[in-house]
Structure 1
Amino acid sequence: MMKPARLQKGDTIGVIAPSGPVNMEKLHKAIPFFEKLGLHVQLGQHIEEKNGYLAGTDEQRLADLHEMIADKNIKAIIFARGGYGAGRIASDIDYNLVRNNPKIIWGYSDITYLHTAFHQATGLVTFHGPMLASDISQDDFDELSGRMFEQLFEPTKLCYSEKSSPLCVRVSGEAEGELVGGNLSLLVSTIGTPYEIDTKGKIILLEDIGEEPYRVDAMLNQLKLSGKLAEATGIVVGDFAESEPKVEKPSLTMEQVFHDYLDKLNIPVISGFKIGHCLPHFSVPLGVHAKLSSSKKTLTVDAGVE
């Protein structure tokens, strides 16, 4: 495990888009949030590029990532948005460069592919949290979601309890291990690749958006058949937004799908966490030690920075 250094007032953060194209008006609307935290913001050279559903070519997006990692003046990389495309550059990332320049990496959704790849290749602790153009720019971006960035300035042990949202104990028990995971569809897409998610002895975070019950069924089935669920010590079910069937047809509910795949496991499973495509968005470091307790209905996560 390799933790990045904490931020200091006056530091510069880099903003790039390794996935989908960016709405620049929304991005610029989010920049004052970081300036109020005492940070300077530097945009990637190709952040305004568009290539179909990608924010520029693979080469452009990779170049921005490498440039921000190599730049000693950049202390954190906060991604502009998710979408699709991070997995396309995973095999060309210079992981030695990442290993030799550990810094804060923050984002979620499609960024799950990078979280997983960085962790598998280098052991770097990264952060699952809201991004500029897709979240921070929104008028309803809330105070709690904003306060979660404070963990980047001071090592902080986080504790999620029912003070944040109602939680449902699906399977009772106590678990501990590294917290890994993120967006379900991206985790499934790593299987069979060099960046395949490792769940052995770990607590898995699962969240997603826009996936109907039959799609979540298929993805959980793949995690089950590949042994990823059985190898874990516990499961944290985050937010599954916009998951209703898009057309009227016979369907299981999401609760029924969760019951079929999660409620029969022999490890603790708790759902209801406001982690994912939601507000408030409780941000957590990935790759650090965590504890999941059904008796206390809590998830505690060690600090992600040094």
Structure 2
Amino acid sequence: MNLPAHQPRPLREGDRVALAAASSALPDPADLGRLEAGIAVLESWGLVVERRPLHQRSWGYLAGRDAERRADLTRAGEVGAELLACLRGGWGAARLLEHPLALPARWLLGFSDVTSLLWAQLAQGNAGGVHGPLLTTLAAEPPWSRERLRALLFGEPVADLVGLGWRGGVAEGPVLAANLTVATHLLGTPHLPDLRGAILILEDVGEAPYRIDRMLTHWRLCGALQQLAGIGLGQFSGCDEPGPAPEPGESAAEARPPRRFSLEQVLRERTGDLGIPILAGLPVGHEPGNGALPLGWRARLDADAGVLRLLG
């Protein structure tokens, strides 16, 4: 994978932030409070946030019709915003890629469903995509995570992310972070960045182990996993299944083993034979402690030391 040709400059105080509701609607009144809290974090960094009542917009389960949500993305250039921050995930961002959509080298912040936009931007040869907190999750992040995002956007050094080595070795290459489900549905499309020599960081939420198995098998069948230099595994929240309940008169220790695979068994089996370093347990995903990662930046995955380091 070649490094992106175009990169945005680091942010500085006074820079403008545009908002995008590219995915699901915000039906819960509590979402507004979380949104305001996230905006307050950005403003505390000296950024000027363009406030728009996007939380009021809906079309079915989406945050507005496709044209409205696509206009959020183009509006950033029209108002001279250096950062485009997405409100929430859910579903809908990939629909915006059905028609030509230029995603220039501008800071674009989000994760989960926003993976579609982050990867499409990189596939167009433009850096600036940051797999990190959404505006409705930012304020709930721990201090280290908020500071990591601020430092990354403002061009300052950031600390390593720490994980657990599953398969030893060291790999260097451009980092690609993604929600597994969303990225799987980009395979075979022009919005998939070059995977050759990349370090792929995956996370997901609410997917049973057999579904994780099915998606990773898809990656294997199309040869995508075999192109990578290294794999990092983040949070797979709510993706494991509980063990079987004891039968009447049977203790928990005597319960029959389940006829299923655990999440860890699936992840290890589907990646362990690729011959590349694997680092699990990274703080990336749907739970607080979602460490920001800039897509396309060169990184070193050291599974022996248990660290993922950005090299710039």
TM-score, scaled to structure 2: 0.87
1:43-78 residue CA offsets vs partner (Å, 9 max, x unmatched): 356452111111000010001111113322x11011
Aligned equivalents of 1:62 and 1:5: distance in 2?
24
Superposed, 1:174-213 pairs within 5 Å as 174-213=170-209
The 8 Å contact of residues 46 and 64 in structure 1, kept in 2 or not, is answered as: no
SS in 1 for 2:67: helix
Question: Amino acid of the residue matched to residue 39 of structure 1?
Answer: L
Which of these residues, 216, 219, 234, is aligned with residue 215 of structure 2? 219
Aligned equivalents of 2:218 and 2:99: distance in 1?
26
The 8 Å contact of residues 156 and 302 in structure 1, kept in 2 or not, is answered as: no
Question: Amino acid of the residue matched to residue 48 of structure 1?
Answer: Q
The 8 Å contact of residues 149 and 291 in structure 2, kept in 1 or not, is answered as: no
Aligned equivalents of 2:139 and 2:161: distance in 1?
27
Is 167-176 or 210-219 further displaced after alignment?
A: 167-176
* Aligned residue in 1 for 2:156: 156
Where does structure 1 lack aligned partners over 5 or more consecutive residues? none
1:118-149 residue CA offsets vs partner (Å, 9 max, x unmatched): 1112332310110111x1244xx311121122
CA positional deviation for 1:158 = 3.6
SS in 1 for 2:82: strand
RMSD between aligned residues? 1.9
Which of these residues, 56, 63, 66, is aligned with residue 74 of structure 2? 66
The 8 Å contact of residues 58 and 88 in structure 1, kept in 2 or not, is answered as: yes
Asked if residue 10 in structure 1 is aligned to residue 6 in structure 2, the reply is: no
Asked if residue 291 in structure 1 is aligned to residue 288 in structure 2, the reply is: no
CA positional deviation for 1:214 = 0.7
Asked if residue 41 in structure 1 is aligned to residue 49 in structure 2, the reply is: yes
* Aligned residue in 2 for 1:50: 58
CA positional deviation for 1:91 = 2.9
Where does structure 2 lack aligned partners over 5 or more consecutive residues? 245-257
1:202-247 residue CA offsets vs partner (Å, 9 max, x unmatched): 1111111111101101111111111111110000111111112389
* Aligned residue in 1 for 2:251: none
Superposed, 1:72-83 pairs within 5 Å as 72=80, 74-83=81-90
Question: Amino acid of the residue matched to residue 130 of structure 1?
Answer: P
Is 29-38 or 207-216 further displaced after alignment?
A: 29-38
* Aligned residue in 1 for 2:115: 112
CA positional deviation for 1:259 = 1.7
Aligned equivalents of 1:302 and 1:282: distance in 2?
16
* Aligned residue in 2 for 1:242: 238
CA positional deviation for 1:197 = 4.2
* Aligned residue in 2 for 1:261: 270
* Aligned residue in 2 for 1:92: 99
The 8 Å contact of residues 212 and 246 in structure 1, kept in 2 or not, is answered as: no
CA positional deviation for 1:182 = 0.9
Aligned equivalents of 1:89 and 1:247: distance in 2?
40
Aligned equivalents of 1:182 and 1:44: distance in 2?
28
The 8 Å contact of residues 15 and 44 in structure 1, kept in 2 or not, is answered as: yes
SS in 2 for 1:190: coil
Change (3 A) 1:35 1:293: same
* Aligned residue in 1 for 2:166: 170
Moved over 4 A (4+): 44-47, 246-249
Structure ID, larger Rg = 2
Question: Amino acid of the residue matched to residue 143 of structure 2?
Answer: E
Question: Amino acid of the residue matched to residue 207 of structure 2?
Answer: E
CA positional deviation for 1:168 = 2.1
Change (3 A) 1:14 1:105: same
TM-score, scaled to structure 1: 0.89
CA positional deviation for 1:201 = 1.1
1:171-209 residue CA offsets vs partner (Å, 9 max, x unmatched): 111111111131000110001212134311111111111
Change (3 A) 1:294 1:30: closer
